[in-house]
């Protein structure tokens, strides 16, 4: 019998307080915003899925396997279309 998916845990980075488990990633994000958190981590099991910490680049935290997976992160990437902004086409 397959294991049920693990819940998402929300942790306030300023206090270290766990705000509980949530069935979906979206629900954890909504709770973070509703609680007025400015920075947080969301874990699924022992894997950090997302860090929201404006203005801080965290090169350590997320393991390489998770960083390369198609899962959600807070990192923004600029695709091919974004790299053409402000450049003249030849």
pLDDT-derived band of residue 54, with 50, 70 and 90 as boundaries?
confident
Query: Is residue 28 in some structural domain?
Result: yes
The answer to whether residue 73 sits within a structural domain is no
CA gap 57, 30 in Å, rounded: 23
| Residue 81 forms part of a structural domain | no
88 domain residue, yes or no: no
pLDDT greater at residue 90 or residue 4: 4
Q: In whole numbers, what is the pLDDT of the chain averaged over residues?
A: 73
Tell me whether residue 67 is in a domain. no
Is residue 12 in a domain? Answer: yes
Split into its structural domains, the chain has a count of 1
38 lies in which domain range?
1-59
SS3 41: strand
């Amino acid at each position: 019998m397959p294991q049920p998916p693990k819940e998402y845990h929300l942790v306030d980075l300023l206090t270290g307080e766990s705000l509980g488990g949530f069935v979906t990633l979206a629900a954890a994000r909504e709770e973070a915003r509703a609680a007025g958190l400015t920075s947080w981590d969301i874990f699924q099991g022992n894997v950090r899925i997302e860090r929201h910490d404006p203005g801080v680049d965290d090169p350590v935290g997320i393991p390489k396997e998770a960083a390369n997976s198609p899962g959600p992160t807070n990192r923004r990437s600029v695709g091919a279309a974004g790299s053409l902004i402000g450049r003249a086409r030849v």
